[in-house]
């Protein structure tokens, strides 16, 4: 694949993290437990690949609230890889360090930054990140930034899969990325400090 074609590929990422109805229990922090990634080819206008990485939390457990929201259980995530291994997989198998990436809002980017710093894990992504929520809001002239499910409705698209499941959300966000690209609203990926 030549380098100009490689620029057409974007990793769309969505994470799910341990969460609680209120404050975390003493000694626990929100940690990534699922990474959904969909590879988008902007030139072809297609979602090429869909990936899911389950991550075993070190400093928290999956609450009943979290299971209700995401469908993920403690037993399921215990079968996952370590956070460091997940970051290594992103870098080596998914070219996260060189390929532009996008997420819905900045939560995913900030969660990776926080968790990488806390665990002294090398940050797997490059600096070219696009906040799809901000782009969508501007493209549609909305006053408030919508959630992903609301944006799908605005765009006349249906939600595929389960909301708040990283793999499915990444797939749906990727559809919105392609929708924005088709409308001529998708920018060149912005750079952010890692």
Q: What is the pLDDT of residues 135-161, one digit of tens each?
A: 999 999 999 999 999 999 999 999 999
Handedness of CA 125, 174, 57, 82 (dihedral sign): negative
Confidence of residue 4 (pLDDT cuts 50, 70, 90): very low
Whether the CB-CB separation of 97 and 108 falls below 8 Å is answered with no
Q: Are 105 and 173 in contact (CB under 8 A)?
A: no
pLDDT tier for residue 7 given thresholds of 50, 70 and 90: low
Q: Report CA torsion sign: 159, 162, 166, 171.
A: negative
As a whole number, the mean pLDDT across the chain is 94
pLDDT at 99 over 60: yes
Between 188 and 128, whose confidence is greater? Answer: 128
Query: pLDDT of 17-27, one tens digit each?
Result: 999 999 999 99
Q: How confident is the model at residue 1 (pLDDT cuts 50, 70, 90)?
A: very low
pLDDT band at residue 191 under the 50/70/90 scheme: low
Q: Average of pLDDT values for 2-15?
A: 78
Q: Is the pLDDT of residue 189 over 60?
A: no
- What is the model's pLDDT at position 77? 98
Beta bridge partners of residue 12, listed in sequence order: 38, 102
pLDDT (0 to 100) of residue 90: 98
The predicted structure's pLDDT at residue 32: 98
pTM over 0.85: yes
What Cα–Cα distance (Å) separates residue 9 from each residue in 39, 128, 140, 148? 7, 12, 24, 21
pLDDT tens for 25-66 read 999 999 999 999 999 999 999 999 999 999 999 999 999 999
């Amino acid at each position: 694949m030549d380098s100009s074609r490689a620029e057409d590929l974007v990793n769309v990422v969505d994470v799910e993290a341990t969460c609680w109805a209120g404050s975390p229990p003493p000694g626990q922090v929100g940690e990534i437990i699922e990474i959904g990634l969909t590879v988008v080819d902007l030139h072809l206008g297609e979602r090429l690949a869909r990936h899911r990485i389950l991550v075993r939390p070190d400093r928290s457990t999956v609450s009943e609230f979290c299971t209700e929201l995401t469908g993920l259980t403690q037993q399921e995530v215990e079968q996952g890889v370590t956070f460091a291994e997940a970051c290594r997989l992103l870098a080596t198998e998914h070219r996260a360090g060189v390929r532009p990436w996008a997420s819905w809002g900045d939560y995913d980017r900030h969660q990776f930054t926080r968790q990488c710093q806390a665990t002294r894990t090398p940050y797997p992504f490059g600096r070219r990140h696009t906040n799809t929520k901000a782009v969508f809001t501007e493209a549609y002239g909305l006053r408030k930034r919508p959630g992903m499910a609301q944006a799908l409705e605005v765009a006349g698209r249906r939600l595929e899969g389960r909301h708040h499941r990283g793999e499915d959300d990444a797939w749906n966000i990727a559809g919105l990325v392609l929708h924005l690209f088709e409308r001529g609203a998708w920018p060149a990926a912005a750079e952010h400090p890692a």
